[in-house]
Amino acid sequence: MTDTLIVGGGTAGCVLAARLTEQPDHTVRLLEAGPMWVAPDGFPAELLDATRMPIGADAPWLWRYPVTLADDGVAVRGNIVRGKVLGGSGAVNGSYFVRATAADFAAWSAESGSSQAWSFDSVLPAYCRSERDLDFGDQPWHGGSGPIPVRRTANPVPLSEQFAIACAALGFPAIPDLNAGAGAIEGVGPVPCNTDNGRRVSTASGYLLPVLSRPNLTVRSATSVLRIRFHGTAAVGVDVLRDDRTETIWADRIVLSAGAIESAALLLRSGIGNPEQLRALDIPVVHPAPVGAWFTDHPEIGLEYRLRTPERATVPLEYVLETDDVEIRPYTVAFTPGVGRLGVALMRPRSAGVLRLRSADPAVPPVIEHDYLSAEHDRTRLRDAVATASEVLHHMSAELLTERIPRSPQQAGAWLQANLATSQHLSGTCRMGPATDDRAVVDERCRVHGVTGLSVVDLAVVPVPLSRGPQATTVMIAEKAARNCSMENRPLY
């Protein structure tokens, strides 16, 4: 019998498997739906190259989810994609590795039901354990020996330099280290990236592959988890599909680390969710819970401009401008040949989305409704942020191709909706909170309310919008969960 069965070998799952098996008597089985390779050099070149975004239409290592129209008929442009490969989305993303801020963790602690468990001071050690900061590793708020190398560009491309100069001309201060201390509120600075010598370093290559030989660790790829098995309200195993055959794998404890979409969908297919919706799909109810009833993401507007000169290959984001709850991103990659894109993302939106099943069939993707910009606050903040970004482009002497945002609130709202996209940062489908909170799915230790032997350890548990991109925080969540388990000598789950 396996001690801990981890569903999902993505950003969080690889961390958990590596850390939990540091205890020789703790057996771990990790299941990943996508492919794996047993050495970093075995990964396809597209996954290793930090200057590429390997998310094209023919990429075989992705989950793809259609975006559903909300009641008001508004939808973001494009589909949601996630990494379906050992390392998860961290194996295919832009290598952005910025921490959330102290203000985020103050809000997180207030929602979690524990004033200390998720405070900034309590999570900082986990952030530090994860990183080998190649620029600031000797500073007290950083780590110098962790599995993930972190570096900032020392030789930015001209586009990034022009952006930084334009931000300075508008009065924004320079921030040498976006991960310093409690996190900067406003300013421009180089992006910490999980790269080394131009190679993307995911948690698969940083954490998991170096420990594959441990006798207490088993990793199975190309294995799809269909549903969780329960004995009453105790989770005891999972049904999986592998090589066109179905089997059941039993375990003492089960951890879902399949990402905010798949972890939530798996709970729902297994009978944890809204009873009325589950019964409509002929799914037996194990425990009522608000799974998928709330999630958050970062709505993003892209301002397009003409690229004057070709840029050399580099990470997709070398610099960003932080203005409290807005992040402005000068992408160095051309999503359209000859056209640059300045991303404008609202990082603490008040609008929330909903995820629900459309079918009990695991092959059918869930319904995902972002409901972006339904709050007037979000429309106002994003409209103002686009105006700031336009000023930056003006100082860069960039030729703006996108039509200018209309002045009237009504016309501006329609313009925002027409140009809306997503930052691909969906989180919070299994939000954290006390049992008395009717919005909560897991407790402050990531255990699913109302059942035993089952936890969620990934971005699904985050109960508030994060002011920064989520990769570093997802690693931190798994580091903290694993440390709690080992230090307290009792199961987290």
Q: Which residues are identified as catalytic?
A: 425
Q: Which two tokens stand for residue 8?
A: 């999902």
DSSP secondary structure code for residue 89 in this structure:
G
Smallest CA-to-CA distance from 452 within 135, 232, 136, 209 is with: 232
Helix (H, G, I), strand (E, B) or coil at 264: helix
Residue type (1 letter), 281: L
| Residue 51, H or E segment | none
CA–CA separation, 422 and 66 (whole Å): 12
Q: Which two tokens stand for residue 301?
A: 């507007």
Q: Which two tokens stand for residue 90?
A: 């961290």
CA–CA separation, 301 and 425 (whole Å): 14
Q: Enumerate the H helices of 332-448 as residue ranges.
A: 376-395, 409-418
Percent of the chain that is helix, strand, coil (3-state, to 5): 25, 25, 50
Who contacts 487 (Cβ-Cβ below 8 Å, separation ≥6)?
Answer: none
Residue type (1 letter), 220: R
CA–CA separation, 386 and 358 (whole Å): 35
Residue pair 347/372 in contact (Cβ under 8 Å)? The answer is: no
Could you write out the DSSP letters of every residue in 409-439? Answer: HHHHHHHHHHTEEE-S--B-TT-B--TT-TT
Who contacts 236 (Cβ-Cβ below 8 Å, separation ≥6)?
Answer: 229, 230, 250, 251, 453
Residue pair 326/346 in contact (Cβ under 8 Å)? The answer is: yes
Antiparallel, parallel or unpaired: β 399-400 and 2-7? unpaired
CA–CA separation, 384 and 449 (whole Å): 40
Who contacts 279 (Cβ-Cβ below 8 Å, separation ≥6)?
Answer: 285
Helix (H, G, I), strand (E, B) or coil at 440: coil
| Residue 107, H or E segment | helix 102-112
What pairs with residue 82 in β-bridges? Answer: 63
Distance of CA 348 to the CA centre of its chain: 15
Question: How many residues belong to the chain?
Answer: 493
DSSP secondary structure code for residue 237 in this structure:
E
Residue pair 136/146 in contact (Cβ under 8 Å)? The answer is: no
